[in-house]
Structure 1
Amino acid sequence: MTLWIPDIVERPGPKYRAIAAAIADDIAEGRLAPGAKLPPQRDLSWRLGVTVGTISRAYTEAERQGLVRGEVGRGTYVLRPGLREGFPMRADQSADDIDLSLSFPAPGDEGDYIGDTLRRMADDPGSVDFLDYQSPAGNLRHRAAGAAWLSTTGVHVDADGVVITSGGQNGILVAFSALAQAGDHILTEELTFPGVKSVANMLGLRIQGLPIDEHGVIPEALENACRTQNYRFLYLIPTIHNPTARVMPPERRAALADVAQRHNLMIVEDDIAARCIVNPPAPIATLMPENTVYLTSLSKAVAPGLRIGYLSAPPDLLKRQASIVGASAWMATPISAELATRWIEDGTAEKILDSRRAEAIARFKLATAKLGHNSISATPGCHHIWLTLPEPWRATDYTEEAKRRGIVIAPAEIFAAGRSNAPHAVRICIGMPRQRKKLDYALDVLAEILLSHNMRDIAMV
């Protein structure tokens, strides 16, 4: 624990804000190092002559700003700079490092199609229309293509039931903004996509992580949460969960839908990776369309650089979400939406998806062969695997040792929702690098680190 006493004498405003500002300043000036444990709340309240509640509010405010993270039963710790934005640190990354920290799709043959499509768009006199303003919800033909894409996962709506977003991350922002306001409480899995935490922080939403097992959120935990607190919605990634790579079975989806309907709880279903696997389970949106906001995009299946996503929701809510798109960006980029539409209409999107899926499955087999003797979870076609570390490894130690060896991965701490405890696990993204032989080498290094550490422990006995 760090013996740290903040200087708040000259700081204006409420004391909790002054303490939070002191935390920020002392981190910036190096007086609070990454990993440092802040004093217990009762101890610091006594030293500063304030209430324990004031210290609790200060620590909560610092956590909301992404400066620290509290863990039940362990205390509050200063985050490393890269974790403060919800994503792995990259500033110190060498050009020679192999980055397995970001969930990129596996390489496909999209390069075979982009040139021809752009030439045809350039030769089409009608393409000039896509340099003009469009409806915030998107051009009707583009929305029809989005509806066609949604239908491939079993969500059947017409063009009027779709809003085009600037990718999945923008879809999350739009959905959250329409459903909640600053100070509201929301639910997620106890391990969740870091981009969700960033959006929640930006909007001032309070995240509560729900316990998960090998099938996803535990229905009894959702039931208990709904009985004890008014939550605005539950955000879920049921297919290829990020970070655990698990697929929620139909029975669990039905159980969660039942709880949500009984408590009139909205579900925001992020299905961005559903098309990456063969025959994914039917979305929760098919079970309770009147209480579900359904999000997807082309990022994992076709091309992340297109930044095109599709959102479907009950009609009144969809209108509000279209207005939020208009207020924030006016519209998704029409030229990107046109390219995406052409690829959906002529079957190119499916060809690219097939090529990416084939490569992802090959990489899945490679990763399970290299690390399968350890506790991993993964799904054929997914772009990352989840490695639960053996004793005595901690996630941060393993991540740092991998970084020292030139491999960048993401520790579980990045994905912990709210004050949920992070397991000793790491996410390893297998979609990058583009050359499979580099991935092969990186996986060998990661396996070797585990083995060598265990061997050192045995040698010390």
Structure 2
Amino acid sequence: MASDLTTARWLRRVDRTEGPIYLAILRALETAIGEGELQPGEQLPPQRTVAGVLGVDFTTVTRAYSAARARGLVEGAVGRGTFVAGRTDDDEVGMIDLSMNLPPPPKGLNFAALLKETARSVLERTDAQALMAYHPGAGSIAQRSAGATWLAPCLGEVSPDRMLLAPGAQSVLAAILDMTMRRGDALIVEPLTYPGVRAIAAHRGLRLLACPVDAEGFKPEDLARLCAEQDPKAIYCIPTLQNPTATTMGLERRREIARVARTAGVPIIEDDAYGRLPTAPLPALASLAPDLTWYVATTSKCLSPGLRTAFVAAPSAAAARDLSEALRAISLMTSPLTAAIATAWIREGAAERLLAAIRTEAAERQAIARAILPQATGQADGIHLWLDLPDHWPGERLREVAHRRGLSLVTADAFAAGPNHRNGLRISLGGPPKQSVLTLALQGVAAILAARPDDRRLVV
């Protein structure tokens, strides 16, 4: 009995206040699986144990377990009990994640085979002991040159001595803000901005100044006013496929923003996580004001987050050396193996093939999204879209209802730089493994939004 009670800890999640108790048990089980409290293959407590713990009829628990089996959350084995279902290539159980921005599976390309082949090739031609030793924090000349090649469509030609290799964009942004700002300093951002920068600013005691935007990003006159009145130490923005609103700053607007920053003498931190996704990328701000801009481009959104690799173009070779030292204090170095894989992919052309396959899949997923949620805004070459919400759908309530329906969503409050912001929802299209799963998830979102938050049918 003690062992059964240990495996029944998830039952504390059962909320008896809404709907039939069997649905409350089902929702608690679904949440525990979705959040990782219950892992694939883990055995659930016997139904009689659950009935005893909750003080309900045995038939109520049987109904809940049967509903969970019908949803693919659990599977039974005669004489052995009930187990959390495992994930397979053909089925996704538990929560469907529309909250995490990931590149979708590449269309027509076997990613696992490519990764295995490259890793094997790297290990065959490199001494394993040397590969797994400490490496220069800024990356080798070969790695920095590969970064310059990869970013050339956005940046043009960049000298490798201005380039750095880094373990992901988050550590780079933290290091740059450490170098350029002190507690209490002001950082200009978009009204809805990357949550990672919000977290860094909160931890470092920085002030976020939300600059008004339109369909192309910062309004130049408002940016100039903030620079003149607030003495900001930097301007942070995402000009291409902005996170979360999916807008892209046009070329003339980029020139205007570069002129404002140069006139004010305020450096730009350009987060170009999505810059390589468009087939014809616009020139980066860093190509218009190279001596004023810190350019950060992770591979997480256009190749794979597992690479944990970002490339940085600093305003000068001296600035690159300073950033290398700052990064060393934070993260020491990039993983040598994943850096070697990313470099090999770029140098051998595999990165471009992978990117093309991701673009194809992303375009198909955007088409699916436009058909189901025509009111959402996005671009065919992006991996997320934005949906403005009516005032009667507060973000917290929407997330709660969606969670009960097996959907993980992220709303505007996660991105807000200030109290008065748009009420909306960022929908990430790359997480579901198949288009059919994405379609079901988007149809679920549409069904939720078609109802009112107080509709009792939403709890089912």
Question: What's the TM-score bracket when you normalise by the shorter of the two chains?
Answer: 0.7 to 0.9
Q: How does 1:450-461 map to 2 (within 5 A)?
A: 450-453=449-452
* Partner of residue 333, structure 1: 335
Structure 2 residue aligned with 1:273: 274
Question: What is the identity, as a one-letter code, of the residue corresponding to 2:276?
Answer: R
- Kindly indicate whether the alpha-carbon contact (under 8 Å) linking 2:271 and 2:296 is maintained by their aligned counterparts in 1: yes
Residue number in structure 2 paired with 1:102: 100
The SS at the match of 2:154 is: coil
Deviation at 1:126, TM superposition (A): 4.3
Q: Distance in 2 between matches of 1:328 and 1:391?
A: 42
Q: Deviations over 1:193-232 (max 9, x none)?
A: 1011111122222211111111111111111111111111
Task: Find out whether 1:187 has 2:188 as its counterpart.
Answer: yes
For residue 146 of structure 1, what is the aligned residue in structure 2?
A: 147
Q: Contact 2:171/2:331 (CA < 8 Å) preserved in 1?
A: no
Instruction: Please provide the CA RMSD for this pair.
Output: 2.1
Q: Which residue of 2 aligns with 1:442?
A: 441
Q: What is the aligned-residue identity percentage?
A: 33
Over residues 337-384 of structure 1, what are the superposed CA-to-partner deviations in whole Å (9 max), with x where a residue is unaligned? Answer: 111111000000011111111111100000011000x2x210112111
The residue type paired with residue 436 of structure 1 is: Q
Task: Name whichever of 349-358 and 165-174 sits farther off.
Answer: 165-174
Query: How much has 1:123 moved relative to structure 2?
Result: 1.4
Contact kept, 8 Å, 1:209 with 1:420, in 2: the verdict is no
Matching of residue 392 in structure 1 with residue 353 in structure 2: no
Over 3 Å counting, the alpha-carbon distance change for 1:177 and 1:307 in structure 2 is same
1:295 deviates by 0.5
- 2:213 paired with 1:212: yes
CA distance in 1 between partners of 2:380 and 2:410 (Å):
20
**Quick check: 1:130–1:334 contact (8 Å CA) kept in 2?**
yes
* Cα distance in 1 for residues equivalent to 2:218 and 2:273: 18
Cα distance between partner residues in 2 of 1:412 and 1:90: 21
Amino acid corresponding to residue 450 of structure 2 in structure 1: L
Structure 2 equivalent of residue 76 of structure 1: none
Question: 1:139 & 1:128 partners in 2: Cα distance?
Answer: 17
What residue ranges of structure 2 are gaps of 5+ in the alignment? 1-33, 39-72, 74-92, 456-460
Helix, strand or coil at the partner of 1:438: helix
Residues 336 and 91 of structure 1: is their aligned pair in 2 closer, same or farther, counting only changes over 3 Å? closer
Residue 97 of structure 2 contacts residue 409 of structure 2 at CA under 8 Å; is this kept in 1?
yes
How far apart in 1 are the matches of 2:139 and 2:267?
A: 24
SS at match of 1:153: helix
Partner of 1:303: 304
Check 1:319–1:239 CA distance in 2 against 1; reply closer, same or farther (3 A cut): same
1:183 Cα shift?
Answer: 2.1
Instruction: Provide TM-score, normalisation by structure 1.
Output: 0.76
Structure 1 gap segments, 5+ residues each: 1-88, 457-461
Q: Normalised by the size of structure 2, how large is the TM-score?
A: 0.76
- Contact 1:178 1:317 (8 Å CA) reproduced: no
Q: 1:391 offset after TM fit, Å?
A: 5.2
What SS does the aligned partner of 1:326 have?
helix
Deviation at 1:127, TM superposition (A): 5.1
Question: Contact 1:188–1:207 (CA<8 Å) still a contact in 2?
Answer: yes
Corresponding residue for 1:432?
431
Question: Structure 1 residues 123 and 421, CA, compared in 2 at 3 Å: closer, same or farther?
Answer: same
Residue in 2 that maps onto 1:133: 134
Q: Is the 8 A contact 2:137 2:166 kept in 1?
A: no
What amino acid sits opposite 2:225 in the alignment? N
**Paired residues, number:** 366
Secondary structure (helix, strand or coil) at the match of 2:291 reads helix
- The answer on whether the counterparts of 1:155 and 1:285 sit within 8 Å (CA) in structure 2 is no
Within 5 Å, give how 1:19-418 maps onto structure 2: 96-108=94-106, 109=109, 110-126=111-127, 128-315=129-316, 316-372=318-374, 374=375, 376-390=376-390, 392-417=392-417
Equivalent residues of 1:171, 1:310 under 8 A apart: no
Deviation at 1:455, TM superposition (A): 12
CA-to-partner distance for each residue in 1:398-452, whole Å, 9 max, x for gaps?
Answer: 23222222211111011001x2412121111111111211110011111112223
The 1-side partners of 2:268 and 2:256 are apart by 13
- 1:329 CA drift (Å): 2.2
Are the aligned partners of 1:298 and 1:304 in contact in 2 as well (CA < 8 Å)?
yes
Amino acid in the other structure paired with 2:434: Q
The amino acid across from 2:437 in the alignment is K
Q: Deviations over 1:148-185 (max 9, x none)?
A: 11212234212211111101222211221221122211
Which has the larger displacement, 106-115 or 246-255? Answer: 106-115
The more displaced of 429-438 and 122-131 is: 122-131
Cα distance in 1, alignment partners of residues 101 and 301 from structure 2: 9
- Alignment CA distance shift 1:296-1:191 (3 Å): same
Mean Cα displacement is larger for which, 344-353 or 161-170?
161-170
| Distance in 2 separating the partners of 1:181 and 1:359 | 43
Q: 1:131 deviation in Å?
A: 2.0
Taking the aligned partners of 2:433 and 2:352, their CA distance within structure 1 comes to 20
1:362, 1:125 → 2: CA distance? 39
Q: Is the 8 A contact 2:273 2:296 kept in 1?
A: yes
Q: Which residue of structure 2 lines up, in the alignment, with residue 68 of structure 1?
A: none
The alpha carbon displacement at 1:304 in A equals: 0.8
3-state SS of 2:426 partner: strand
CA offset digits 1:13-60 (Å, max 9, x no partner): xxxxxxxxxxxxxxxxxxxxxxxxxxxxxxxxxxxxxxxxxxxxxxxx
Please identify, of 425-434 and 89-98, the stretch whose mean Cα deviation from structure 2 is larger: 89-98
C-alpha separation in 1, matches of 2:224 and 2:198: 23
Q: Decide whether aligned partners of structure 1 residues 271 and 96 sit closer, same or farther in structure 2, where only a CA change above 3 A counts.
A: same
Check the 8 A contact 1:180/1:232 in 2, yes or no.
yes
State the alpha-carbon separation in 1 of the partners of residues 276 and 453 from structure 2.
38
Residue by residue, what CA displacement relative to the aligned partner does 1:223-275 show, whole Å, maximum 9, x if unpaired? Answer: 11111111110000000000001111111111111111100010000111011
CA distance in 2: counterparts of 1:445 and 1:96, whole angstroms: 14
Q: Could you report, residue by residue, the CA deviation over 1:39-94 in whole angstroms, capped at 9, with x for unpaired residues?
A: xxxxxxxxxxxxxxxxxxxxxxxxxxxxxxxxxxxxxxxxxxxxxxxxxx958999
